[in-house]
Amino acid sequence: MGIERGTELIRLERNGPAVTCRLRSGDGTEETVDARYVVGCDGAHSTVRAQAGIGFEGYAYPQTFLLADLEVDGLEPGAVHTYMTGSGMVFFPLGSPATWRMLAMRPPGAPDTEVKLGLLQKITDEYTPDRLVLRDPVCMTDFRLHNRGAAHYRSGPCFLAGDAAHIHSPAGAQGMNTGIQDALNLGWKLALVCSGRAPAELLDTYEIERAPVGRSVLRFTDRAFTIGTSRNPLIRLARTRLAPRLAPLALRATGPRGRVFRTVSELGIHYRRSPASTAGSRPPRKGPQAGDRLPDLPRGLQARSAGPGWHLLVSGPPALWPDERLASLLPGRHDLISVHRLGGESPWPDPVQGLVRPDGYLGYVARGAHLEGLRAYLERWLPAQHG
Ligand SMILES: Cc1cc2nc3c(=O)[nH]c(=O)nc-3n(C[C@H](O)[C@H](O)[C@H](O)COP(=O)(O)OP(=O)(O)OC[C@H]3O[C@@H](n4cnc5c(N)ncnc54)[C@H](O)[C@@H]3O)c2cc1C
């Protein structure tokens, strides 16, 4: 079964441990589908969230934003143009259905009526000394931003991911990123549970791991939005005078840009308090810990740990890791785990065993070659399949 575009979920009903879904296709025909699990990736107005009875708590910001897809004469093509004057204004190179997407805050005092080209041109004239001419709008609209999070990411067989679970201001550009992380976190767990390879309790770790990330994104974007829209004279000065001078310098310097981008985009995400990320009795003294994301590591290691499935990384003298010792872990799960012996690229100074989950996070890590802790982890989350 693939993606069915144009099909709408109109009703959900709990049916014992499963869910009965009423679907309506584009031509109006309806059908009923019984599902073991349903994931609501259906955006801010999520039907799944509403029908599963999950609250969506938070508030709307008072500001209104104007958005238009249109043509602009006078802008250098192919680049984002940000104007920090006034309440701020951005032109994104869209391409289709219009060359530009304009985004601006409705200026204080501007009438709260239908968005017209005249208002957008007036804002543009005020905010930039460049002579920009706006024309041929394909769409013009306004919207308000919210800061809201789902009270739970799961209710029985129903899960929420993406904007269905959290919405916030685009300051920091984290909405889509966070939603993709949700889906990545849930996807491998559902795949293992539905194929009978992992216990159903693995799905409980979805909310444990992702809800704190959602909350931290709501806090982060709220701070960024408050600074970005503040009318405090000092903050305005920093925003309109300092930021335009410093931002291009920061963006030109590739090193800092990488660091800034990583810091913002990952917001220090880790799952160190999750039962699906545990350390052995002797955790590493340095280097990544259980719950940290492995692809942050040097390139060679990234390449080895990337891809679906689990990856067992071992480091230290080869004598510590004879083939038979490692092979003893694999019966009944060899199709899901690949083993990698690390040399100088190991991020741990000591001999270490680390099990990387399919989403790239360290599920288990311990110093030394005793395998009891790792065996217990595997028995819990990836029990051996025999026969
Ligand atoms: C101005 C602006 C700028 C942004 N910039 C960034 C950025 O730079 N970086 C970033 O990471 N994020 C950004 N975002 C946020 C990002 O756009 C969203 O977080 C992201 O699109 C959410 O994806 P989603 O799939 O969860 O929800 P949506 O994109 O809302 O998709 C939900 C889908 O579900 C469908 N659907 C709804 N109800 C049903 C139903 N009952 N049955 C079937 N289907 C249904 C909808 O038709 C839709 O296709 C920005 C947002 C805005 C408003």
User: For 265, phi and psi rounded to 5 degrees?
Assistant: -75, -25
**CATH code for the structural domain at 278-381:** 3.40.30.120
The domain covering 8-55+151-229 belongs, at the CATH homologous superfamily level, to FAD/NAD(P)-binding domain (3.50.50.60)
Instruction: Determine the pLDDT at residue 224.
Output: 86
Q: Report the separation in Å between the CA atom of 167 and the middle of ligand 1, taken as the mean of its atom positions.
A: 9
Q: Report the separation in Å between the CA atom of 102 and the middle of ligand 1, taken as the mean of its atom positions.
A: 18
Q: Domain spans of the chain?
A: 8-55+151-229, 59-147, 278-381
Q: How do residues 325-340 score in pLDDT, each as one tens digit?
A: 999 999 999 899 999 8
Is the CB–ligand 1 distance for residue 330 below 6 Å?
no
Is the CB–ligand 1 distance for residue 8 below 6 Å?
yes
Residue nearest to atom 37 of ligand 1 (CA): 42
Flag whether pLDDT at 263 surpasses 80.
no
Question: Is CATH 3.30.200 the right assignment for the domain spanning 59-147?
Answer: no
Look at residues 387, 386, 385 and name the one whose alpha carbon lies nearest to residue 192: 385
Q: Lowest-pLDDT range, 22-26, 250-254, 306-310?
A: 250-254
Instruction: Determine the pLDDT at residue 264.
Output: 46
User: For 249, phi and psi rounded to 5 degrees?
Assistant: -65, -45
Q: How do residues 19-58 score in pLDDT, each as one tens digit?
A: 999 999 999 999 999 999 999 999 999 999 999 999 999 9
Strand 362-367, strand 352-356: pairing: antiparallel
Atom of ligand 1 nearest to the CA of 44: 30
Is the CB–ligand 1 distance for residue 47 below 6 Å?
yes
Q: Lowest-pLDDT range, 99-103, 104-108, 231-235?
A: 231-235
Is the CB–ligand 1 distance for residue 205 below 6 Å?
no
Residue nearest to atom 28 of ligand 1 (CA): 43
Can 8-55+151-229 and 278-381 be said to share one CATH topology? Answer: no
Atom of ligand 1 nearest to the CA of 179: 26
Q: Which of 39, 66, 163 to mutate to test the pocket of ligand 1 (most atoms within 8 A of CB)?
A: 163
